[in-house]
């Protein structure tokens, strides 16, 4: 989950509409912040609200806990150590030519 990108109530409601009638399990994985990446982790209140919307719609929604963040080894953090600055600074959907 990225703060201001896909953590909003409207995003949770869009998931509810998309999967209405299906038995699904949604894993909510908050972003692990790291130097050089412009994205931020949503605050705990936003994550819990997102989960609440899904659960109230009879969906299974699990907030995944992060491990290794204290040593910058959480999911996604190790990749930035070897990635080029250009590769990690382009916004999603940016055209590459």
Does residue 91 sit within a domain?
no
Does residue 51 sit within a domain?
yes
Question: In 3-state terms, the chain is what percent helix, strand and coil (to 5)?
Answer: 35, 10, 55
Spatial distance between the Cα atoms of 8 and 49, rounded to a whole number of angstroms: 9
Does residue 81 sit within a domain?
no
Spatial distance between the Cα atoms of 89 and 87, rounded to a whole number of angstroms: 6
Does residue 79 sit within a domain?
no
Does residue 41 sit within a domain?
yes
Find the angle CA(94)-CA(32)-CA(47) to the nearest 5 degrees: 95
Domain containing 10 equals 1-69
Count: domains in the chain: 1
Does residue 8 sit within a domain?
yes
Longest dimension (CA), the chain: 44
What is the full per-residue pLDDT of the chain (97 aa) written as tens digits? 999 999 999 999 999 999 999 999 999 999 988 888 899 999 999 999 999 999 999 999 999 987 655 555 555 555 555 555 555 555 555 555 4
Domain of residue 31, CATH code: 3.80.30.10
Q: Model's pTM, two decimal places?
A: 0.71
């Amino acid at each position: 989950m990225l703060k201001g990108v896909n953590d909003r109530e409207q995003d949770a409601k869009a998931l509810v509409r998309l999967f209405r009638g299906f038995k699904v399990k949604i894993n909510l994985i908050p972003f692990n912040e790291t130097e050089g990446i412009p994205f931020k982790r949503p605050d705990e209140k936003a994550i819990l609200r997102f989960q609440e919307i899904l659960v109230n719609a009879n969906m299974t929604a699990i907030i995944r806990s992060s491990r290794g963040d204290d040593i910058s080894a959480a999911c996604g953090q190790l990749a930035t150590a070897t990635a080029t600055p250009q590769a990690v600074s382009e916004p999603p959907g940016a055209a590459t030519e």
